[in-house]
Every structure is written in structure tokens, then in C-alpha cells.
Amino acid sequence: MGLFTPRWKIDAQNLVCSMKQSRLVISDAQLMIAIKIYVNGHMKVIRDSQHLVNTTKKVNIFFGRYDTLIERAEALCKLDAIKPGLLTNDPAQQVRNCKANLPAAIDKMIDRCWLEAKTKADGLKMEKAKNNCFERLFDSFAEFDYRMFMSNREHIERLKIKAKK
């Protein structure tokens, strides 16, 4: 906490401790512990969100956790921008990968939802009940149509045709 504290330490302190200080008010050791806690907390949420994005069969959970994943990775980008090399992974690359893989991730979620609805519909006897099952599925997709890509919409249209057979 000397007279010439590197700017990155003050900026890191303000980010990881939610402060607005013009000087370092915690020791270097406390700062490093705070950074570690900050990074570990974000990484845990990122891992949990990745797991849910890759396994959920609920459209709202998929997009909610995808947003959380991006937000947490972007928070780590801020820390990485303050002091490059502080993190072992590249959060900016993680954000780019997530955004680039989003259309494929949405297709996989659509397939999981379809399989669940199809399995449920196959167990039903009444044609109206089967149709209602698929209708609920497609309604859940429609709520998030604005978040989907053209390839995802086309995938859903192909499934609609399958559902009518």
C-alpha cells in the first residue's frame, strides 16, 4: 500500500471488491485472495451454466443460462483487461466461442426438447393429446423466436412437419 501502487491493483480491487477507491485499501495478499475468490466464483457459475446449456430441455432455462454464461465470462474479461496474464484461460476467447457456437447449441437444445416431447407423445393414446404435446413444444420455441437464428427456425419447421406425420 505504498505511494506508488500500480494502477492495475487499484482497478482490480475496485472490480473484485465492488469498490470505487482511488487508492489501494487492502493489502496485496488480500487483493490476491479477493481475485482468486472472484475468479473461482465466476468459473463455478460458468461451469454450472455450461452444464445446463448443454443438458436442459427447457427453452427459458437454456437462454437464461446462456446469458449468465456470457455475462460471467465478460466479467472475467474485465479482470483480464486490467491485468493481462492474471488468468490462466482467455475469457475473451471463451466469449467468442460461446457466441460462435450458439446456433449449434440451440439446435442441440431443440433436439433434446423434441426427443422429450416425442417420447411423451408416443406414450399417449389420443391423437389430440399427442398434438397438444407438440403444440406446447412449439409454443415454447415461439416465445424465444427472436433469439434464434434462421437455421434454428428452419430446424423447428422441419420438426413441425415430422410432428404432423
With a CB cutoff of 8 Å and minimum separation 6, the contacts of 146 are none
How is residue 2 written as a grid cell?
Answer: 505504498
**Is 69:101 a contact under the CB 8 Å cutoff?**
no
Rounded CA-CA distance 50/16 in Å is 23
Burial per residue of 48-82, b for 16 or more beta-carbon CB atoms within 10 angstroms, e otherwise: ebbebbeebbebeebbebbebbbebbebbbebbeb
Prediction pTM value:
0.86
Q: For each of the chain's 165 residues, which pLDDT tens digit applies?
A: 456 788 899 999 999 999 898 888 999 999 999 999 999 999 999 999 999 999 999 999 999 999 999 999 999 999 999 988 888 888 889 899 999 999 999 999 999 999 999 999 888 888 898 889 999 999 999 999 999 999 999 999 999 999 887
